[in-house]
Amino acid sequence: MKKNIFKLSWLLILAVFALSSCNDDTDDPPPTVIEDGLYLKGAATALTDYDVKGLFTVTRNEVTQEDRASLYEIYVAVKAGADGFNIVSVDGGTPTFYGPGADFADVTNGTNDEPSVTFQRGSYDETETVFTVPNDGLYHVIIDTELHKVVIVPVQYWGLIGAATPGGWSTDTQLPAGAFDLNSMTFEVTDVAMTNADFKFRYSSGWKVEIDTVLDLGGGVVGVKVNTNFGGSVDDLVPGGDNIANSVPGYYTATMVWTLGEGYTATMTKTGDLPTTDYTNVALGLTGDGVLDAGVAVGWGPIMGEQTPAVDGTNFTWTWNNVEVTTAGSFKIKDNDPNWAGVVIGYPQVTMAGTSTADFDTNGDGNFVPLADGNYNIVLLIDASTETYTVTVDPATK
C-alpha cells in the first residue's frame, strides 16, 4: 500500500518554513531526510520508525556464492504477538508497505540442509498487514524482490560445527541465546574442546534456506538459496565463506554477538590446554574424489588405505605409498566414522613438506587439491605433544 506521506510532509514543512521565515528569531532544526531503500519497520522491533539500522542489505545466493541484486537480508530481534513488522520499500520518498501473502505459512519440515526449526516462507503482498512471529527472539528475515518471496527463520542458537569441534561435521556444539533484547543479543558456550582442524558457525543447525529451487540462472545453474552459516575467519565472518582454521588446540569460550545495524561479531577465547591425545589405535585413510583406487575415484564415502600409525613416543606416523591422485577432485585424511564426527584432517591444518608440495593446494572446504595427476608417497606425522601435523609428499618410487 503506497502512501505519499513523505511528499505531503515536505509540502507541510515548506509551508511552515515560508510562514516562519519572516520571524528572524526562529531557529528550527532541518527536517530528517529518509534515504531510499528497503526497510524493516514495526512495533514488535526496535525499528519503530524509518531507521538506517533497519535497512536490508544485498546478500549472496548460496547456489553461486555471489551477490544477487534482488536478494536482501537482515537479522533482527522481534517480540511475539500481533504488533509484528512490515517490510517497506522507500522510493523517491514514497513508501510501499509489504506484508504476508496468501501462501505465507509455517515450514515444519525443511530440507536436510535447512535449519531444523519451524520457520515461515511464502509470497508477500502490498499491504499494511504485518508479519508476526510466535516467540520473542532473533530472526533472519530474507526477501527476494524478483521472486516476491519472504522467509523468516528463528535464530534459536548458533552452533560450532566441523572437524575441530566435539561433534565433528555431524553435530552442532550449541551457543545458546542469552537474554532477549531488541538491540543486542549474545550467544555463548564455554569449555569447548577444539582441536587443530577446521570449523564453521551456523544457526539452528542449518546450512542454507531455500527461496526457489527451479529458477534458471543459466549454464545449468538453478535456484536461489541463502546461507545460514558463516565462514572466512573469526575476525571477518563471511556468509557461506571458507572453513575457518583453528590452529591452536585447547578449550575455548565461543561467543557470537548480534547488534542491531551492525550484524555479528565472533570471538574464540582459549581458556585451557587439551590433554595429549594417544593416536595409537586411530586408523586413518584417504577419502575423496581426488584419490583413485585402480583408476577409479574413491569418493567421499569409502576410506582407502586405512591403517593405524607407527608410534615413537608422542609421534604418530601414517604412510601411504604410490597413491594415485587426480586434478578432477580433492581429498582429506580421516577415520572411518561415516558421520564425519571423528578425526578429519585437511590441508589448512598441516604443514606441507617434501619435494612435491607445489603439486597440492586447497579449496574452500579445506581439502587437499592435487594440481597435477600422478602417483605420490604421502606421509602424515602427528606430534601429539604439540598437536602439530606434517604431511610429506614425494613422487612415488617405482
Mean pLDDT of the chain: 92
Q: b vs e for 359-382, b when ≥16 Cβ sit within 10 Å of the residue's Cβ?
A: bbebeeebbbbbeeeeebbbbbbb
For 97, the grid coordinates are: 508497505
- Binned at pLDDT 50, 70 and 90, residue 170 comes out as very high
pLDDT at 34: 82
Q: What is the CATH number of domain 157-272?
A: 2.60.40
| The domains spanning 157-272 and 284-395 adopt the same CATH topology | yes
Question: Where is pLDDT greater, at 260 or 26?
Answer: 260
89-142: pLDDT as tens digits: 999 999 999 999 999 999 999 998 999 999 999 999 999 999 999 999 999 999
Given a contact cutoff of 8 angstroms between Cβ atoms, the answer to whether 290 and 370 are in contact is yes
Q: Examine the pLDDT at 345 and tell me if it is beyond 50.
A: yes
Each domain of the chain, given as residue ranges in start order, spans 5-154, 157-272, 284-395
- Binned at pLDDT 50, 70 and 90, residue 220 comes out as very high
Architecture of the domain spanning 284-395: Sandwich (2.60)
Give the C-alpha distances (Å, rounded to integers) separating 390 from 40, 317, 394.
50, 10, 13
pLDDT at 12: 35
359-382: pLDDT as tens digits: 999 999 999 999 999 999 999 999
pLDDT at 397: 79
CA angle, residues 87, 32, 76, in degrees to nearest 5: 30
CA distance 301 to 298: 8
175-189: pLDDT as tens digits: 999 999 999 999 999
Mean pLDDT of 200-226: 96
pLDDT at 22: 41
pLDDT at 108: 96
Mean pLDDT of 191-197: 96
8-54: pLDDT as tens digits: 343 333 333 343 444 444 444 444 568 999 999 999 999 999 999 99
Q: Which residues contact 88 (CB under 8 A, 6 or more apart)?
A: 38, 39, 40, 41, 50, 95, 96, 97, 98
Return the SS3 of 17. helix
CA distance 158 to 171: 12
pLDDT at 189: 98
pLDDT at 20: 43
The C-alpha cell 532473533 sits at: 138
